[in-house]
Amino acid sequence: MFTPSRSGVRASHRAPNFKKDSGKPGSFFFAHCELWFFGFFLSLVCLMEVTLLFDPWYKTSLSACLLGHSLDFDIPYDVFSTQRIDEGTELLLNSLPLAEFPKRILDMGCGYGALGIPLAAALGSSVEMELVDRDLLAVQYSARNAVKNKLAHVRAYGSLGYRDLPQGNDGYDWILCNVPARIGLPFIQHLLFEGQARLRSGGSIFLVIIHDLLPLIEREAGITRLGLEVLTRGSRHTVLKLAKTKEDLSGAIAYSSDIYLRDSVTLDDSAFDRPFDLGGDDPKRVQFGLPLLLDALPRALEQNESPIAVTVRSGYGVIPCALAKRFNNLTVVTVERDLLALEFIERNFRKLFSDLKRLQQRKAAHFPDALSEFRKVDLIVGELSPASGRAVIESELTVSARQLRAAGGQGIFLCLDKTYQESVKPLIDQKKLSANRMMSRNGYSIVRLG
């Protein structure tokens, strides 16, 4: 029998009788079972913590039966449709003429693979399935989900539209796209015309769109004599098919970053070209958030012959350009997971400074991964995404703090007041992060490291 000792520690006063005790609740046998289960549970918790440490972006997993196949998906924070498979995606999948047996398919804007992976499972290993997205985090999860579902014939990689596709391939039988609602007419034209040039003879483009985009695409198809067919109408989406035409339309709208151009905004006394469909760029951020971050930028840096500043989530380049204007000898390194952001950062930097000598760019699904190539940096400036989850914010802030120079290094991050209270302040209170709330205004806060 176990009794408390005077020190408060539970103590045993007799040796266990294996024969007598085995099988009785509270016996030596059951105690070992309890210890085993406790150890097993603890190991699971540790495994979850290790997984979280190495992949803070992981949000959830879901299972779905699509095209007759049971599939499992790991899903990260901050991508499209994290709670369920999107209605438009399911509508497109169920509208495809699988009996055509296409041999090569391109999934444009693949996300975490909700469209391309079920199709690859249904058609089997005889099909070449290419999944591309401008978001490198989405690409990473598409590749991960292909492995998870044992689909070795799926290839996932980053591309800004058609820009980064391999040169010299012999085209696609199908090109698929769940068209973003806010991408703009020039990109849609490019999607259709360049897509026609990349189709094999007898190939087709299949699109799922929100109903509001249908008149626009019908008008473009009529003007350019594209063969447009409405396959299915859902409650909110329409599925379209555009067959390969005999006309060469690839030159109708050649690629340049202009196909993404939305408008121009003025910040820090400079005009910046702004693209369509860049996440987080809402009017409140432009009116209040970015001006606050500009006000928080340092006016001087510690003496260093070759100072380095790293920026993250820089949108279309306001902060990299502001830093380059303030510090003539500063090298600015921008780290982005969105290839569209990198394109417009370069575009605006070149417009303001005529060359890119002081700008370096890094593509990375995880911002902290890109920091590892630098021993120490003088300044890190960025924004914390409210959609990314606490583990991502902790990873980004703690890794940034470690990468700052001991003498004079600074980290400056913009976030919503709500994000500060829910995700940043607990890190400070628990002594996990040496930081302070530098300023707060109009619903935004500045977190300062160093």
| Cα 258 to Cα 447: distance, rounded to the nearest angstrom | 35
Render pLDDT for 194-220 as a digit per residue (tens, 0 to 9): 999 899 999 999 999 999 999 988 888
Beta carbons within 10 angstroms of residue 24's beta carbon: 10
Element at 286 (helix H, strand E): none
Domain 258-449, what fold? Rossmann fold (3.40.50)
- Can you give the pLDDT at residue 355? 84
> Does pLDDT of 50 surpass 50?
no
CA distance 230 to 430: 57
Helix, strand, coil fractions of the chain, as percent rounded to 5: 35, 30, 35
**Chain segment 220-246, per-residue pLDDT in tens:** 877 666 788 999 999 999 999 999 987
Lowest mean pLDDT among 2-11, 73-82, 152-161: 2-11
Least confident of 3-7, 132-136, 335-339: 3-7
What residue spans of 9-135 are helical by DSSP H?
18-21, 28-54, 87-93, 116-123
**Residue ranges of domains in the chain:** 16-54, 59-255, 258-449
In degrees, rounded to 5, the angle at the alpha carbon of residue 156 between the alpha carbons of residues 173 and 168 is 50
Backbone angles phi, psi at 88, to 5 degrees: -65, -40
pLDDT per residue as tens digits for the range 329-385:
899 999 999 999 999 999 999 999 988 999 999 999 999 999 988 889 999 999 999
Topology of domain 59-255 in CATH is Rossmann fold (3.40.50)
Residue 160 has pLDDT above 70, yes or no: yes
Closest CA to 262 of 325, 315, 192, 210: 315
Q: Is pLDDT at 3 greater than 60 in this prediction? A: no
Between 59-73, 81-95, 301-315, 348-362, the lowest mean confidence (pLDDT) is in 301-315
Which is more confidently placed, 336 or 254?
A: 336
Model pLDDT, residue 434: 94
Chain mean pLDDT for the chain:
86
Tokens representing 178? 């769940």
Number of residues assigned to the chain: 450
Q: What pLDDT is attached to residue 12? A: 34
CA 63 vs CA 73, 85, 311: distances in Å: 6, 9, 37
Average pLDDT over residues 75-92: 92
